[in-house]
Structures are given as C-alpha cells and as structure tokens.
A and B are shown apart, each in its own frame.
Chain A
Amino acid sequence: MTILAIDTSCDDTAAAVTRDNRILSNVIWSQAALHAKWGGVVPSLAKRAHQDRLPWVVSRALRLARANLPNSANLFTRHSFGVGGPNSPNLIAAIAVTVGPGLAPALEAGIHYAKQLALLHEIPLIPVNHLEGHVISSLARPNLPNSPNLPNSLALIVSGGHTQLVLSFPSHRILADTLDDALGEALDKAARMLGLGYPGGAVLEKFAKQGNPQKYKLPLPLLGRENQGAFSFSGLKTAFYRLVEGKELTKQEICDLAACFQSTALDHLIRVVSKTISHFNHSSHSNNFDFSDLLIGGGVAANIELRKRLRKLGKQFDLKVHFPYSKKLCTDNAAMIGLAAQWAFARGEAAKTQAEINLIDRQPNLTFPSL
C-alpha cells in the first residue's frame, strides 16, 4: 500500500511517501537545520510556517517517489516511469497524518492540509500517533519490497520530548515513562549549563568523547528504585547545576563534565530498562509478554554511546536490537508516520467517508495506555 504521510508535530514540516516498510521519499523542511537538533518547537513559526511550507514539501515528496495522487490531472505523469494507471504501484492509496502528541496549532496545520487532500482525491485519511512512528522507525528498510511481520517487541523511545519504554505489537503499553524531563531534554539542558548553547545534546556528545566519565561523581537517579517503571532526570540536572554553578570552566573540564553527565544519564536509562526486562523475564506473565526484539527510536537514538550500551544490553538478554538506519529517521520525520499508518490501516483506523474524515481532530496529549 502506497501512503503519503504528513507530520507537523514539531518545528519541521515533513512529508514522505512509503510503500509497506519501504521509504520512497522522506522530505523535511527544516527551519533550524544548522542548529543542533531535538530542541522542540520554535514558537514564532509554529502554525504559519507549516501552512506556507506544506504544499512545497508534499509535492516534493511525491516527485521524489515518482508517485501520484489519484483523480488529479497532475504535473508529474509525464516524468514518471510506468506510472499513471489506477493499479500503478506508486499511486497514492491513502493519506496519513500525525494527530498527536505535539503542539496543538502545529498539529492543526498538518491535519487541515491532509484532510483537504484526502477529500479532494477521495482517498482514506489515517490518523497516526507520532509515538507509534518512533516505535516503528527502526524497522524501516531502504530497499526491501516485502513487509515483515511485526515482532513482539520492547520499544524504547528516546527524544527531546519523550522517554518511554513500551511493550509493542499488536498494541502498545507503557512500561516506563519519565517523571520529569525527557532524556534528550536533560542532555540539552546540561549542555546549556556548560555554555554549549541550547539545544546542545548532540554537541554534548562530541565533547563527552574527549572527557573522562569517572572524573566527577553524580548521583544516579532513583537508585534502588529502578523497577518502578519510571525515569527521572531532574535531580541529576540539579546536582549538575550545583557542580558547575559560578565556575569558569577550562576546555578539559567541559569535556569531563559532559562525559560524566551523559554517562550518568545513560547509566540510569539502562538500569531502568534492564530491571524492567528482568522483571518480565521472572514474572508469571512472561508467557503473555514474550518479546524477542528491542526497537529504538527518537532523536537520542543517534547517540553512539547510547547505541553501544543498548547493544550490550541486547546481548545480555538475548534481544535483537534495532536502530533506525539513518539519522534522518531518528529525529522527527514523516516516513515513520507512513510506516505506522500501514498498521493503523490494517487495524481499521482509517477514516473513509467525508464525515469520518471531518471528525479527525488534533490530540496534543495523545499517549499510549499504561500496562
């Protein structure tokens, strides 16, 4: 099934064309691409900018995928290869759009545009949870025509806005969530305290590489309570503030402090994930919740140190660990929304009539249910 997907949950305007679990195009108009990413929404631009950019981003996604919308006297046919008939493999069969979570006015811009397209071209509209996109993003393949079965999985979403461990497929249940800051946000804020700008999580990683993670002692959050299904980074943030406040830092101190913060934050993350898995392996539910794969999604999934530690964890618990195959799939994008939409469609969540399509609304606080 060929899907045109749209995501405007954050400051980037994104559109993509996907077929099964293959990505045909993935276009992002990034207004702050030079800046280190996973920062969040840019307030001044939230709604208007999306409205201005959507037509361009969507038509570019279609063109790169050599795809057409049905019933349209479109401009691309002449340049397409073997495309045009109603059974053509690149004829868009449905539109998918992110309905949440995100900033309401930003979501609204994408939903409004997607509705117009679906009604105009008389194809279904599939509302998608942005977080399901992150869960599924690591299963995308650049070049495999057949969709695999979805494995029973644990999924870890680590981004600027979310830190969640989720039991996935066929439905999603939260096993652990943050009590305060998201991991990406905590790394961003630590970078700021070191004078590395904001958002600076990706910068922090670079400096951490040249630092000694043992140099300073930071308290591990929720030590001894890692089995309670919670992450927390605000205490760590406070301790870090106390450590750096009012000091003139040398180059080496900045590197060491970056290494210590990142290392402690990741220690905590891994401890909670690991305790939660052991809990499941030993509990009486284990037959009902059998999982073989660990899926990682979100902007922080690009962090090399995080990848190293999660691969080690995978070995320890005999889980197959999947990361998105490109950095572009880690941060917010529309391709993952297209992938998630395939499964949402199979679950019967597509709006097909005009009345159903009109009912689709933004859900800024959308989340997965807890276990």
Chain B
Amino acid sequence: MKIINLGKSARQTAIISAVAALRRGGLVIYPTETVYGAGVDAASPQAVAKLAKFKSRPLGKPYSVAAADQKMAERYVKLNHTAKKLYRAFLPGPLTVISKLKTFKPFSHSSHFNHFLAPGVASETGTLGIRISSYPLVTAIVKKFGRPITATSANEAYKKRPYQISDIINQISDRKKQLIDLIIDAGPLPRREPSTVIDTTLDDPVTLRVGDIKISNEDKILSRSPENTQNLAKELWQKYQHFAGSPRCEAGRRAIIFALEGPLGAGKTEFTKGLARAMGIKKEIVSPTYNLSNEYSPALTINHQPSTILHHLDAWRIESGQELENLDFAGIITDKSVIAVEWADRVADTIHAYSEDAVIIWIKIKYAKKQNERLINWGIL
C-alpha cells in the first residue's frame, strides 16, 4: 500500500501512479468532490472481484463508474432525452445518472453479454450508473487511463462515510488494508453528501408501433371534471357489460379490456374508479403503479354466480409483452375478466394479440385547455 500526499507538486505523480496501479488491476483510493472513492478498472473481472472483497458488498448491488466526459459515457450507454438534459445541467458534478447499456443482452451468460465491463459492474437488468466528477484530479486520472473506473465510496457496506483517509484505515482489518494498492490523500474533505443517483431508464421511448392502433367508430367527449371522466366509464360499462363473464360462465362471453392511454395525471385511475363503481365494486380503487396489478371483486354475487372480476394493471414500468405475460395476462383473459390497463400504449402489441378473445376498448385521454378539462377519445380496437 502506497500513500501519496496530494500537494501541488505531487499532482502529476499522483495521476501517473494511479494510472499505473489501475493498469496492474490495483485498487486506488482517491478524493472526489463528495467522499473518498474506491477505484478499480471497471473492465477487469479480477480487479472488480478485489473491490467486492474490500467493500464486503451484498450481492446484486452494481457499482457506478466514473467517466472522463460524456463521450466516454456514450461508448457504454445509450443516453435518452432525460439523461442528456441531466448531463447538460448537472455534470460534471455530484450526480450519478443511470442509463441502459448499449450491448446488453438479457438472459445470456453474464461474462459474454458485455465485453466492455466486468461482471457485477452493471445491474442485472442491464443498466449502468455513470458519474463525471467535478474534482479535476479524478477526471484527469480517468482520461489518462482511457476507460471508466469504479466510483463507489471507499467504505465497507453500511459503514461510516469516508471524508478522510483515517475514516477508511481505522475501520478495516489488516487483511483489507493489503487489498489497497494506492491511496491519494488530499486531507479531510468538506462534508458533502454522496452523489445523487438518478435512474433515467424508464423514460426511454417505448418500442411499439403506436401507428398500428386503429380505432373504429371513434367517439370523443370533453370531460370537465374527474366526475365526468368517471361517468364516461360508467356509460361505456353499460354499453359493453353484456360481454362480461366469469371463469365458468356460458359461451359468448368474453374478457373486456379497457386500454387506457394518457400522460401522468390525466385521469386513467379516475376512469377505472368509475368503471369499478359501475361494476358494483365497493373497495377504493388506488393507483396500481407500485404493485403492477390489483384485483377487485364486486361486493355481491347474484344467485351465487361467480362474479366478474376487475383486474387493474399498470404497464408503466413494463418493458415488453413478456413481462405482461408474467402477470398472467393470458389467464385473466381466459377467465373472461374485465381488465383496465393503464399506459396501454406501452404494451399495445400484446393487447392487440388478444383481439379475438377479448373486446378491446381503447381510450385516449389528453389534457385540454383548462386545469380540469380532458379530451377523451375512445373506440373499439
């Protein structure tokens, strides 16, 4: 373990020694604008394994990396619109932006899917956190090294934040000290919060062909209030309820899908509330965003008939039709349930595939001029 005290004259020595240590697969402790960081070559499996040992890191927890600039970042990840805006406004600075890897293939063997990064650096779902430090020394090291280094704090998991070298050294065993190849000591750092982590991956444009959604006999209304929106749901239920069934009901019945499309806060849950009330469901309908899927049954079953069940799905965080199938979408269609799908445009292909087995009513909600006004278009798919 070598220690370089960072004075003005030592800066160049520090950069050269750090790069040399990184090239050998070494672990370098370096100062940043937040806390001391632990850096290894993010492309070297041996070096990343060494870092994992040093950090005693729980499994499944990825490492963010430091890049020299946006260009270096874009060699690894796709930056979407949100990410680009964040890079422009906040980087370099104490911000870690998570984006999707360029070369990620899910479910392939981990050591093959990305030859740019060691296993365990990116997350299991193929995302990577990148930060561009505003501490010039870090950027200089990464630039000279030519590829990203890990940018995790230099403490063990769940231990004190390292604002000075003694915070690190006094907390670890001798065996762990031996894992460190180089320490760049800049003295005590100002007590700033660790970098803020922002995940931009859900803002990616959806991979579906919205142009394919053709609504026949399109209708539209201007809803002036949430109650108006609920009433529309009630009217549509009355119009189509004769299709509704249950698992063992007679032939001729089908599942009914209310496919809801519209921006945040447009009233998709509001519509579903109206639908549920019309179906005789007493329970409060709440947003399904967190759970992905909620299930409701009407309070009373008439003549002991199995009643029609309402499934309330949220496709916002769903990225492929396969994920929708994981929620047993096919099963609830076979059961002839009523299904309200929020963010249906994200899974339009999958919904479309069931047009034989279900009545699909597509509903588009848009913001109109006034605060509470919405323009609602709907029709049969």
Contact = CB atoms under 8 A, between A and B. Distances in A.
B98 A182 contact: no
A177 B285 CA distance: 11
Contacts of B318: 43
A140 to B, nearest CB: 16
Contacts of A203: 196-198
B292 interface: yes
Interface in A26-85: 27-36, 39-47, 53, 56
Interface stretch (B82-90, B243-251, B252-260, B299-307): B82-90
B82 A197 contact: yes
Interface in A196-251: 196-200, 203, 206-207, 234, 237-242, 245, 250-251
Interface stretch (A98-106, A149-157, A314-322, A350-358): A98-106
Nearest to B314: A40
B164 interface: no
Contacts of A178: 286
Given A43-B317, A105-B327, A241 B265 contact: yes
Contacts of B238: none
Interface size band for A: 35 or more
A105 B199 contact: no
Interface stretch (B30-38, B59-67, B109-117, B178-186): B59-67
A160 interface: yes
A33 B326 contact: no
Nearest to A102: B291
Interface stretch (B14-22, B121-129, B206-214): B121-129
A44 B324 CA distance: 9
A160 B197 contact: no
A185 B289 contact: yes
Given A197-B198, A200-B199, A46 B326 contact: yes
A293 interface: no
Given A234-B265, A241-B264, A161 B123 contact: no
Given A30-B61, A33-B58, A180 B197 contact: no
Contacts of B292: 40-41, 43, 46, 103
A200 B293 CA distance: 21
Contacts of B356: none
Interface size band for B: 35 or more
A63 to B, nearest CB: 14
A102 B85 CA distance: 35
Interface stretch (A187-195, A264-272, A281-289): A187-195
A196 B197 CA distance: 9
Contact of B61 (A33, A40, A161, A196): A33
B174 interface: no
A15 to B, nearest CB: 13
Nearest to B59: A29
Nearest to A200: B198
A238 B59 CA distance: 39
A165 to B, nearest CB: 14
A251 B85 CA distance: 11
A256 interface: no
B265 A238 contact: yes
B199 A364 contact: no
Contact of A198 (B64, B203, B287): B203
Interface in B104-155: 106, 123-125, 127, 129
A162 to B, nearest CB: 8
Nearest to B201: A197
Given A44-B326, A46-B326, A179-B286, A31 B125 contact: yes
A132 interface: no
A104 B311 CA distance: 12
A365 interface: yes
B55 to A, nearest CB: 12
A196 to B, nearest CB: 5
A20 interface: no
Contacts of B106: 44
B70 interface: no
Nearest to B327: A43
A181 interface: yes
Given A34-B62, A206-B196, A103 B291 contact: yes
Interface in B306-321: 317-320
6 contacts: A104-B293, A203-B197, A234-B287, A237-B265, A241-B263, A245-B367
Per CB-CB distance, the 8 closest pairs between chain A and chain B, nearest first, are: A238-B265, A40-B290, A161-B290, A43-B323, A197-B198, A197-B199, A33-B61, A237-B265
Given A34-B62, A234-B265, A365-B294, 19 more contacts: A30-B58, A31-B123, A33-B58, A34-B63, A39-B317, A40-B317, A42-B125, A43-B319, A43-B326, A44-B326, A103-B293, A104-B293, A180-B287, A192-B264, A195-B85, A197-B200, A237-B265, A254-B89, A364-B294
Interface of A: 27-36, 39-47, 53, 56, 101-105, 160-161, 177-182, 184-185, 189, 192-193, 195-200, 203, 206-207, 234, 237-242, 245, 250-251, 254, 364-365
